[in-house]
Every structure is written in structure tokens, then in C-alpha cells.
Structure 1
Amino acid sequence: MAENAQQLVGALEGLIGRRVPLRVRTWDGSQAGPPDAPAVVLRNRRALRRLLWAPGELGLARAYVAGDLEIDPGSDLYEVLAAVTAFAEDPEAQELRAGPRQYLGAPGRRVLAAALRNGAIGPRPAPPPEEVRHRRGRLHSRRRDRAAISHHYDVGNDFYRLVLGPTMIYSCAYWTADAKSLEDAQTAKLDLICRKLGLRPGMRLLDVGCGWGSLVLHAARHYGVRAVGVSISTEQVALARERVAAAGLADRIEIRLQDYREVPDGPFDAISSVGMAEHVGSDQYLVYARHLYDLLAPGGRLLNHQIARRPLPPGEAYRLSPFIDRYVFPDGELSPVGTTVSRLEEAGFEVRDVEALREHYGRTLREWVANLEAHWPEATALAGRGRARVWRLYMAASAVAFEQNHIGINQVLAVRPTPAGASGLPATRAQWLAEAAEQDRPVGALDTDLGDRPSVR
């Protein structure tokens, strides 16, 4: 079997045209691959069958989610993912075709022969039950979007609390010099958004994709605004309403189970959209931008916080990661930041500021992974072992993607100009960031779900 394991890795290297970047240990204890490389464990023959039927990212993800493939206890998860990512990005590596036709040539036949010697030839294994396989309706229709959002966000509020911590904020934190913890960094992010929007007492704020209500709670308590938060996740809305009531802010905050396309009651003085636009889709993005423009009062500001991908070479079509699409964000789409800016401008906005927070997201994701791992038995009891493994893999892989600059995250500040063309913003960034601090806004302890720490401001 040791010889067979070596033949398997050798055959695979012949197929892909490059050295395998990982050490592979099989279910019988045999090993092959670079001795100094991070290691993965094929726990059973089904793991190899998954890789044969879906070579590449999807097969690896299915094997990991199902528990057929593990990270060797002596290896670091991030090192494994970094090695796989570097290999996948290598322009000299042959692209794996996601299907059995690649086994028709001589290199492919050698892989099949090695798999046969290991007893791993067999029918296609069923995907883990966490995979989304059946989607109904037109892409980004309201019904289909509700189903996609439910798949990701209606996992269980208690599960998300374990991962995200007491702030219940599911977006990139802002790691200032004073941030000593994830909670500090998330509160700093909330405050940064409020200051960019220039919030003042009495203003009306719309938070699109409000999650569990953390931003509207912070804005109402610390900036004295009246806020509306909308989400199409039933579990998010239920907990957000509970948090608002517990904070004694029900007279200033309304949480709605509502699609952004259904919000009718503008104008708002400011709109925030944090980690939501990735679900909109390129075909609907101009609709999204125009509707938010229509909901803003002249001189009002939009803060759009969104993950961005890198532009593609001419002629290459965009394709979301198959693992992310099938297990994490069904129907999600990423666009380059330049495309986002162009769509906002096409809708009538004037884009005034773009701030990249890429390094901040890598660190945030590592904190979430650490939270999940620290509460692993409870997390698997709440969401199931397969779903917990999905979240561990996607958050760790996303951290590597941000750290290696494959994707980014940007806050775009835009305004709806007045009829005379005025933006309402001071001339410099320093001035408009400082203007909210000069307001006589209410300052007090954060709401009970955020703890009893004072505000970072």
C-alpha cells in the first residue's frame, strides 16, 4: 500500500503537470508527497472517489465537509489552504477539468489504475446534504433570493453568536491601534460608518441588510438617529427585534422583514449597506443602486461596504468559487470595485471616497475561525457537524484569499447631490470624519448584547 500511495501521488502529478503541494496520508497510514509540506488525510476510499469524480476545489470541499478528508493534526489549516491556493493560481499548472473525460489520456489512465489498486473505483458519491443542488425561479428573483439568504443566514442565531462573538456583526472589523479585541474592532467599524455618514440626532437612517441589528443599535444609541433596518432572513429579524426591545430603543428603531426592493418610504438622510451587495447580482446592481438613490434625500450619503474581486483578463468569464456557490452563498456574485463605482455613478450618485480594508478582513476571519474552533462541540451540536465544517473551511479559505490579495473589501462613500450639484460634504476627509464627533450626540454604554464597555469614541 505504501508503494500504491506513492504511485497514486505520482500519477496525479503526471495528470496535473506539477508537483503536488501537499503530503498525502491514506486510510491505511501510507504517505506520499513532499516530506516538509503540510499534510492532508484521506480517511477512506470514498475521499478518493470524490476527488476522482470532481477533481479540484469542489471535490476537495465535498470530501472535507463529509469528513472523508481531514487536515493532518500536525499541519496548520491556513498553510494547507495557502498551498492549495498557490498551486491553483500557478499559471504553469494544467487546469483540471471537472469531469471524468480527463481520464481518457495516458496520464488520466494512470490515476485510475492507481485508484483501482487502492480499491477506490466506484460510483459517484452523493454530495453532503449541506450542498445546495436544486434552485427554483429566475436568478435574483425575490423568491430565489429569499431562499439563498435563508440557506446562509438562517443557520441558527446561537451558532452565529459562537462564531461572531457578542457584537453579532458579520462583516469586516476595523482594527485600529486601540482595538484590543474583536469586539473593540467591530465597534470601531460601526463608529467609522456612522462618522462617514455624518449621522446627527434626528436623522433618518436606512440599513439595508441589517443583520442582527448591531449598526442601527449603535447609530440610535450613540448618534441619536431614527433607524429602519431591513433583512430577508427571518432569524436575523427575530433576534434584531429582541435586541432593539431589550435596549429600550423600539421608539427609534424599526426592524423589517423586507427586501430592499420593497422599501417604499423614503426619503432617508443616510443609507448603509454593509456586506449585502454581494447578494444583489450584476444584472440587478443598477436596480439596487437606483432604488437606494431614490430613497435618499438630496445631499444624503450612502455607505456601501462590499467585497470585491480582481478584474479578469479580456474574454475570461466570471465564475464564483463552486464551493462558495454550492455551500455558502448560493447565487452570490463579486465585482471589481471599479464596476461598483461605475454602477453607483450611473445611478446618479457622486462617489466621494473609497477605502480599502483588505487586511482588516483577513484578521477578522481568523478571529471567527478561532471562535468556532474554541466552541467546536457546541457549534456542531447547534448546526450539525457538516455545516460547522463548511463554515470553518470557508472562513479560513476566505482569510487566505484576503491575505494573498485575491479578493478585497472596500467602503465606498457616495452622495446624492442636491439639485444645485452640492455634495454637502466638507472639503477634506479629515473634516467630514471629524464632523460627527463635534455633534452633541448621546453617548452611553452600549446595548446589553454588546456588553457594558464604554463606546470606543
Structure 2
Amino acid sequence: MVAAPRLAALVEQFLGGPLPVRLRAWDGSEAGPPDGPVIVVRHRRALRRLLFRPGELGLARAWVSGEIDVEGDLYEVLDRVTWLLGERPQVGTGRLLAAARDLLALSRAVPVPPPVPNEEVPRRSGPLHSLRRDRQAISHHYDVGNDFYELVLGPSMVYSCAVWSPETESLTDAQTAKLDLICRKLALRDGQRLLDVGCGWGSLVLHAARHYGVSAVGITLSEEQAAYARERVAKEGLEDRVEIRVQDYRETADGPYDAISSVGMAEHVGAARYREYATRLFGLLRPGGRLLNHQIARRPIPGREKSYRVDPFIDAYVFPDGELAPVGSTIGQLERVGFEVRDAESLREHYALTLRQWVRNLEENWAQAVRLTSPGRARVWRLYMAASALSFERGRIGVNQILAVRATESGASGLPLRPRAWTEQS
């Protein structure tokens, strides 16, 4: 029973210091500090995955397959081994070859495993961010069962960060506060037309129609989201004021709208298409209308601004073809097509709180989540949400609500002289 000490020595060689967590190997051996969480390597195949795909993707495949697990606090493990997720020190070629030989010896004659569970790998075809490929990417992430999303997201069925305060009592309350904040920023009022780009399960358009009297159109590429949203609209008797379409933003041409919201959708657009996205929304908005763009942003690393690459785990298992941009780049793109950006509000800490609640919902209903999807999909979600919560908490990524206007020819914006007037509910 020597696998864990050998594996621990290999890890410490990379770290240049002691192992940050305890290891338990498939042969029952253990190594590392006696206190704190434990990483359990259940099968030698996990090592073969690391040989085949070194770094984050190999680890993710082992996690999704159940060959690596955690006993104890998952957040603490992720925090302690951040280097395994892309921040480890640079290692020379000689040391890498030595590590590969050691991993090969530990894994013995176990065949190279397939890079799946098959059902968790997105099917992609066609040019990047083409209409067809974007539909495939959206379907992979969102068409996994509305019952599963109800379990994770809770009754609000809102899949973007909530807005919290010290007085907030529940996730539902925090999501309602976020929906209302968006409506106030857009200055919605009775009789206006609202377009919600990437409407999800319809929560925002329903809130806007119910409480602000607008006529709303929600568009999504997810068939399952659209079906669920339409049922909600019918149940509330709002068919005369809310329309749900399965439609791409590039296919929407029935403007002008008085206001446009895009909440958690622009991350799917991609850098190559972002100018087209901004131009399309500008053209759909009437002069004097407002855009609320709610979007996750990456923090650029000084000196490495041009070295950005899509996170391999997220791309392979979670959001195929998704891309993050710095908030400054997003503001610049919106301004280039004619928008006047009037406000940008960071909600970074709010997203961390939201993700932790989603993880809690998943963990408390784990058996049902596995039943509704698959063991692999449930493990994907647990890892991605927990790691994302830490990324928001540590400031590696952020999320921002950008309010922009299409000013009139006279330059009138329609905004109040006092900034942030929408923070006060009327």
C-alpha cells in the first residue's frame, strides 16, 4: 500500500513544498496532512487521464467519471489546490518527463480511458458561433431537463446572479430583487415594449409584465426553456402581453423596442461576433431607449492580456464555445456601435453568494439530481459552480450590469440627473 506516498511525492515535487491536502489512493494508502479535507483517487485511470490530458482537463475528466472524489469541504479543497486548476508554477521539460514516467508506473497497464462520460461531451459542428453551432452549444447546457434546473435554481428559475442585502432571507427574495433592479434601471412603464435576449425560463419578462405593465418578448435558443416559459405565461394569464420565441438575436427584426435586457447571455456571443451583437441590439432599440447588459467578465492579467484562452473544463463540459471579455472591452464595443454607456455596476460578490446557494441546493438533493440527469452531469455542475464561486470571491472573474442608452438626435438620454436613482424603490 504505497500508491498515495508515491503520488504525494510527485505532487510535492511540482509544488516545491508540502502537499496542501491529504491523499487517499485506490490501494487504501494515505499521505499528506492529517487534518482537513481528503482527495480520494479511486482508480488508476485517473492517472492515465492526467497523462493523456495534463492539467485541468485531465483532472476534470477524472472528477466527472468519479475516479477522483473529495471527502470534506469541496471549497477548501479547490482553494488549497488552485495550482492544479491552472496556476501551478512553470515546470521544466526534464521534470515533466520524470513526472510522466512516475505517473505511467503508478497507473501500470490500465488502458488509456475515453475522454468522456459520452453523454457529457457537447456535439459541435459548423463554424464557431454560427447559428447552427450556437444552437448546439445552448442545447447542451440548457436542455438537460427543467426539473433539474428547478432543483438547483429554486422557485425563481433565474439563472444569473441574484442581488443580496443583509436583510435578504432567501435566494428567491434575492432573485426578485435582481429582477426588479433591472426593471428600474430600464425605467419600464405601462405600455412599453421590452425585449429580453436570452430569456431563460421567462422570469424577467413575467416580472416586467406583471409589475410594470410592459408588453414583453423573450427569446431563447433552448426548446426546453421556451416550453417551460410558455407554460408559466399561460398559467399567469399573460399571453396577451408576453411572447416567448425560440429565436437567435440575429434573427430578431421586429423593433423598435423601448428597452432591451440581456442577462447572462452575452457570454455565449464570442469576441468575433460581439460587434454584430451590439449592432443588432442598437438597431432594435428606439432612440431614447435603454439597454441593460448583464455579463460575466474576466480579469485581465497584467502583461498577459493577449494570452487568454477559454477554460478547457468549462468549454468541454459546461458552456461550449463560451468566452469572457474584460468589462472595459465590453463597454468599448457597445460605444463603438453608438450606445452611450451611463452606468456600470459590479455584482461580483453577489454572484459568489448565489453560486454557493445553488451548490447547496444541488448537494441537499444529490440523489434526485443524479436521477434527473446522470452522475456525470451532476458532478460537472457541482464542480463548476463551486469553482466559479471561489473565482468570484477571489476576484478572478466578475459580473457587471452595464446600462446604456441609444440617445436621441438632440442628445437626450432620458436618465435622471442624480445617478443611481433606481436604487431607491418607488
TM interval, short-chain normalised:
over 0.9
Residue 60 of structure 1: how far off its partner (Å): 1.1
Q: Name the CA distance, whole Å, in 2 between partners of 1:107 and 1:16.
A: 13
Q: Which among 82, 90, 97 is matched to residue 94 of structure 1? A: 90
Alpha-carbon distance change, 56 to 18 in structure 1, aligned in 2, over 3 angstroms: farther
Task: Establish whether residue 235 from structure 1 lines up as the match of residue 217 from structure 2.
Answer: no
Q: Name the CA distance, whole Å, in 2 between partners of 1:322 and 1:177.
A: 36
Q: Name the CA distance, whole Å, in 2 between partners of 1:50 and 1:88.
A: 15
Check conservation: 1:8, 1:111, Cα contact below 8 A: no
Instruction: Provide structure 1 residue ranges, at least 5 long, that are not aligned to the other structure.
Output: 97-101, 439-457
**Equivalent residue number for residue 77 of structure 1:** 74
Residue 22 of structure 1: how far off its partner (Å): 2.4
Q: Name the CA distance, whole Å, in 1 between partners of 2:14 and 2:51.
A: 12
**Equivalent residue number for residue 334 of structure 2:** 344
Check conservation: 1:12, 1:111, Cα contact below 8 A: no
**Equivalent residue number for residue 271 of structure 2:** 282
Q: Name the CA distance, whole Å, in 2 between partners of 1:53 and 1:353.
A: 46
**Equivalent residue number for residue 450 of structure 1:** none
Residue 33 of structure 1: how far off its partner (Å): 2.3
Query: Which shows bigger deviation, 420-429 or 359-368?
Result: 420-429
Which runs of structure 2 are paired with 1:159-178 in the superposition (5 Å)?
A: 159-178=148-167
* 2:243 partner letter: E
Residue 428 of structure 1: how far off its partner (Å): 1.3
Alpha-carbon distance change, 79 to 426 in structure 1, aligned in 2, over 3 angstroms: same
Q: Name the CA distance, whole Å, in 1 between partners of 2:331 and 2:99.
A: 50
Which runs of structure 2 are paired with 1:15-94 in the superposition (5 Å)?
A: 15=14, 17-72=16-71, 75-85=72-82, 88=85, 93-94=89-90
Which runs of structure 2 are paired with 1:360-371 in the superposition (5 Å)?
A: 360-371=350-361
* 1:23 partner letter: R
**Equivalent residue number for residue 406 of structure 1:** 396
Alpha-carbon distance change, 381 to 76 in structure 1, aligned in 2, over 3 angstroms: same
Which runs of structure 2 are paired with 1:212-231 in the superposition (5 Å)?
A: 212-231=201-220
* 1:24 partner letter: L
Q: Name the CA distance, whole Å, in 2 between partners of 1:302 and 1:364.
A: 24
1:37-90 CA deviation, whole Å, 9 max, x = no partner?
532000111122212222211111111110111102xx2000011112256565
Which runs of structure 2 are paired with 1:438-457 in the superposition (5 Å)?
A: 438=426
* 2:346 partner letter: A
Check conservation: 1:11, 1:111, Cα contact below 8 A: no
Instruction: Provide structure 2 residue ranges, at least 5 long, that are not aligned to the other structure.
Output: none
**Equivalent residue number for residue 418 of structure 1:** 408
1:134-175 CA deviation, whole Å, 9 max, x = no partner?
521110000000000000000100100000001100000000
Q: Name the CA distance, whole Å, in 1 between partners of 2:110 and 2:90.
A: 23
Task: Establish whether residue 190 from structure 1 lines up as the match of residue 179 from structure 2.
Answer: yes
**Equivalent residue number for residue 311 of structure 2:** 321
Residue 433 of structure 1: how far off its partner (Å): 4.6
Check conservation: 1:14, 1:107, Cα contact below 8 A: no
Report the TM-score when normalising by structure 1: 0.89
Q: Name the CA distance, whole Å, in 1 between partners of 2:106 and 2:121.
A: 33
Residue 111 of structure 1: how far off its partner (Å): 5.1
Residue 421 of structure 1: how far off its partner (Å): 1.1
| Cα RMSD after superposing both structures | 1.9
Report the TM-score when normalising by structure 2: 0.95
1:360-414 CA deviation, whole Å, 9 max, x = no partner?
0001001111111111111111111111111111111110110111000000000
Which runs of structure 2 are paired with 1:130-279 in the superposition (5 Å)?
A: 130-132=119-121, 134-279=123-268
Q: Percent identity?
A: 63
Alpha-carbon distance change, 58 to 90 in structure 1, aligned in 2, over 3 angstroms: closer
* 1:414 partner letter: A
* 1:401 partner letter: S
Q: Give aligned pairs, total.
A: 425
* 2:411 partner letter: G
**Equivalent residue number for residue 10 of structure 1:** 9
Alpha-carbon distance change, 361 to 117 in structure 1, aligned in 2, over 3 angstroms: closer
**Equivalent residue number for residue 109 of structure 1:** 98
* 1:247 partner letter: E
Structure 1 residue runs of 4 or more that deviate by more than 6 Å after TM superposition:
none
1:239-274 CA deviation, whole Å, 9 max, x = no partner?
100100000100000101100111111000000000
